[in-house]
Chain A
């Protein structure tokens, strides 16, 4: 399992580095089209070949990494920032009407897969990367809320929480100062899993045209462009798809490794 963690960390780091590097340098400019050199297979000039506009695929992958990571990070951020406080609040008032309302609200959001949320948002506001972030972010909220509530509930029975209560701390302060630090590991592990799901969701939304719009580079869009070209230029489909697989695989291995490292007892909801 240690090996898995190292591979996962290396893969994740590679893509983050590629994305960061794309801010200052890419092998070539992806906004200039070079039709004369379209659909080239990998060569010394273009390490990963070129697409149907003659754009350098490696450069597109680097710019796409930026989009993927940005969308997934913000979407996980939304899920954590809203979901964890809601879950903690529900746990602090466990059994009350508030708890019931929060948890039923969560069930309700689960009935809207992120794809359906994206469809709703896009139908009214039009497609964009921001709308993809919102759609994936909303879907992340109940994931963190449930997990936070479930992890916080048993803690409320513990003696150190009783001691904090005896000191006269409010339940909001206890949640923030004592419960939260104890469930943070679990949240980080789930965060890496939601991050990888976010990468997949962003790719899917961009692929069907509900996510990032041209000229923003996105792995999902690259696949959509490649779809009619698979017969004549398979590399235009294989490379972006393989990139998504490596990134997601890396994040999943990292998440598994982190879980084993941070706390061997915790169980993470992967489904």
Chain B
């Protein structure tokens, strides 16, 4: 396990290194002079010089790259040109919308998908299975932002159960959760459809295995064999998908935040794009990619902890 962890750790570090180089190159090298790009054609010469100085553009590229990465490592994400505020502060305000939203959606998606997938697999070919599979077929075809708009139309505009958008703040946790509920459902349902399908096919694979026949031969009912033996083994691929979905939900949240006017990372990044605030875009994108890579790493480790065969193969 230690060898495996070390190997994965090295590849994690290499991925982070490569990702940071790519992002740095796209944001700071491709535009030529990022300061001129950010300020536009009518920029005054002294403003330009001030921004160049602030961004450290007078230094050679490798120094700039190292300074940026060094800053990231010490929590200094630079200072936003438009907000005149440290990017780290901007991010830490907004992460408390985006992260809870992703976790909320992940919880909902799992709560919906597990029973749906298990019922479908247990009653394979029956009406429940057909119904659930039909619903998942529809679920994967629905764009989550459109689903969000429909939810607003039904539950905010017609029924008035929820507000159509905005965020209440964490001072009142219940109100905060309430304002995240519709967005979380919109994010979760399409993901739940995928997860339910994975759960079902993984369980069906397991139910065909010899150890299930052995368990049945020992006198366990179909239901007992499913719950005691098949389910635990079927969880492995399901866990991987849950890990992948977390990063997807975090990125997908960016779009849903737009529908509900939530002050999360998505809003920050779009405002930064339209204001050409490259410093904010660079750091927030790096943060998102960093999260995806770390989550995948954690899933890989969890995977190996559950399934010893994987350690040996690696």
Contacts and interface: CB of A to CB of B under 8 A. Distances in A.
B67 interface: no
B141 A249 contact: yes
B65 interface: no
Contact of B138 (A107, A119, A249): A249
B252 A104 contact: no
B198 A271 contact: yes
B15 A111 contact: yes
B137 to A, nearest CB: 7
Contacts of B11: 104, 107
B251 A271 contact: no
Interface string A171-213: 0000000000000000000000000100010011001111000
A112 B289 contact: yes
A226 B272 CA distance: 24
A120 B23 contact: yes
Interface string B19-38: 10011001100110000010
A8 to B, nearest CB: 10
Contacts of B285: 116, 119-120
A203 B269 contact: no
B281 A119 contact: yes
Contact of A113 (B146, B247, B270, B273): B247
Interface stretch (A26-34, A77-85, A229-237): A229-237
Contact of B143 (A209, A234, A241, A252): A241
- Taking each of A124, A238, A252, which has the highest tally of chain B beta carbons within 10 Å of its own beta carbon? A124
The interface residues of chain B, by DSSP majority, are classed as helix
Contact of B269 (A112, A119, A245): A119
Contacts of A244: 141, 143, 146
B102 to A, nearest CB: 13
Given A245-B141, A248-B141, A123 B149 contact: no
A108 interface: yes
Nearest to A256: B137
Interface string B137-153: 11011110110011011
Contacts of B251: 113, 115-116
Contacts of A123: 27, 272-273, 276, 278, 281
B94 to A, nearest CB: 15
B27 A124 contact: yes
The interface residues of chain A, by DSSP majority, are classed as helix
Contacts of B22: 108, 112
A119 B272 CA distance: 10
B107 interface: no
Given A115-B255, A253-B137, A223 B194 contact: no
Interface residues of A, number: 43
Nearest to A240: B146
B231 to A, nearest CB: 19
Nearest to A122: B273
A260 B247 CA distance: 31
Given A116-B289, A223-B146, A245-B142, A270 B137 contact: no
B31 A124 contact: yes
Nearest to B291: A111
Contact of A108 (B18, B141, B248): B18
Contacts of B272: 123
Contacts of A207: 143, 145, 255, 258
Nearest to B148: A227
A204 B138 contact: no
Nearest to B266: A208
B248 A113 contact: yes
A196 B27 contact: no
A241 B15 contact: no
A246 B37 CA distance: 41
B241 interface: yes
A200 B296 CA distance: 24
A256 B197 CA distance: 13
Interface string B222-260: 000000000000000000010010011001101100110
B149 A237 contact: yes
A111 B292 contact: yes
Contact of B244 (A116, A122, A203, A271): A271
14 contacts: A111-B293, A120-B281, A123-B27, A123-B272, A207-B145, A223-B143, A227-B149, A230-B149, A237-B153, A244-B146, A245-B138, A248-B141, A253-B137, A271-B198
Shortest 4 CB-CB distances between A and B: which pairs?
A: A241-B146, A248-B141, A249-B141, A113-B251
Interface of A: 104-105, 107-108, 110-113, 115-116, 119-124, 196, 200, 203-204, 207-210, 223, 226-227, 230-231, 234, 237-238, 240-241, 244-246, 248-249, 252-253, 270-271
